[in-house]
A and B are shown apart, each in its own frame.
Chain A
Amino acid sequence: MYSGRATAVTTRMKRVISTSVAALLLTTLGSACPVCDSALGQEVRAGIFDGRFALTWLEVIAPFPILALILAAMHWGLRD
């Protein structure tokens, strides 16, 4: 059971969250996101999924498999 005070706080929090979400969705920058349907959003989406997506992805994450190999070498090679 919630007390009256707790219910009031919950209602206030709901208002703050819903206002924040609405403000976020209504901003111009929000409409420029790559998943939005604006002209800019479509342009950004085309820039990301440009036919080289998989290759670019591999290039962007390339340092991490190398670091993982170094960590594996450390794990197996490190003496206590």
Chain B
Amino acid sequence: MEMDPSDAHYTTGTTRETRKPLIMAGTILGIGLGGFVDGILFHQILQTHNMLTARLPKTTIPNIEVNMFWDGMFHAFTWIMTAIGIALLWRAGARRDVPWIGKIFVGALFLGWGLFNLVEGIVDHHILNLHHVIERYGQSGYDIAFLLSGVVFIVGGILAIRSARSQGTPVTLR
């Protein structure tokens, strides 16, 4: 393979690795996928709540359809986050100074998922009161459990990322 002499990797034989692009890509992707877990699991499969069920209970067809519209608006944004995450992951994958370590990526995914649960839970369930995890119970222990799941995912994700860092996995050139 022909190498560019101006390339630092080539001229020095060593490389200064950066894990930030992989962490950022994984975190954004985790936010998007976390949003989809919420939407698919709670809004569609279990149907325990929809976007505005604290204000518009699902007791009439128009209310169900209005909720569906706002579910779609929310999912549009989770889709945008997912798309940005994929684009950043693609860019990170093309960089030779970004180590391709699964533990960092999975840790970042959980970090993102946890951030989503924590922020969405605080804002939508507690501050704005748009909906609650199990709507028929209103604000309940399930909302707290949702926040706790966010904290657990964040801590677990950070620990996974840090443990992979401390292992000092060598950079592999792709």
B77 at interface (Cβ–Cβ under 8 A)?
yes
B52 at interface (Cβ–Cβ under 8 A)?
yes
Proximity bits, A7-42, B CB within 8 Å = 1, else 0: 000000000000000000000000011100000100
Proximity bits, A36-57, B CB within 8 Å = 1, else 0: 0000100110011000000011
Return the contact of A66 from the options B52, B56, B62, B119 (Cβ within 8 A). B119
B53 at interface (Cβ–Cβ under 8 A)?
no
Proximity bits, A52-66, B CB within 8 Å = 1, else 0: 000011011111101
Chain A: minimal CB distance from B167 (Å): 16
Chain B, interface SS category: helix
Contact A60-B65, Cβ < 8 Å, known A67-B31, A71-B28, A74-B27: no
Bound CA span A61–B52, Å: 12
- List the interface of chain A (C-beta within 8 A of B): 32-34, 40, 43-44, 47-48, 56-57, 59-64, 66-67, 70-71, 74-75, 78, 80
Q: Specify which chain A residues have a CB less than 8 angstroms from the CB of B89 in the assembled complex.
A: none
- List the interface of chain B (C-beta within 8 A of A): 16-20, 23-24, 27-28, 31, 51-52, 56, 61-63, 65-66, 69-70, 73-74, 77, 81, 115-116, 119-120, 123-124, 128, 130
Chain A: minimal CB distance from B44 (Å): 15
Question: Does B77 contact A59, Cβ atoms closer than 8 Å?
Answer: no
Bound CA span A67–B78, Å: 11
Question: Does A60 contact B73, Cβ atoms closer than 8 Å?
Answer: yes
Q: Specify which chain A residues have a CB less than 8 angstroms from the CB of B73 in the assembled complex.
A: 57, 60-61
Question: Does B119 contact A74, Cβ atoms closer than 8 Å?
Answer: no
- Which 8 A/B pairs are nearest by Cβ-Cβ distance? A47-B66, A44-B65, A80-B18, A43-B62, A63-B120, A63-B119, A63-B123, A64-B77
Contact A63-B69, Cβ < 8 Å, known A40-B62, A43-B62, A71-B24: no
Bound CA span A57–B116, Å: 18
Given contact pairs A57-B73, A67-B119, enumerate 20 new A-B contacts (beta carbons under 8 Å). A33-B65, A40-B65, A43-B62, A47-B62, A47-B66, A48-B66, A59-B128, A60-B70, A60-B74, A61-B73, A62-B128, A63-B119, A64-B77, A66-B123, A71-B27, A71-B31, A75-B20, A78-B24, A80-B17, A80-B20
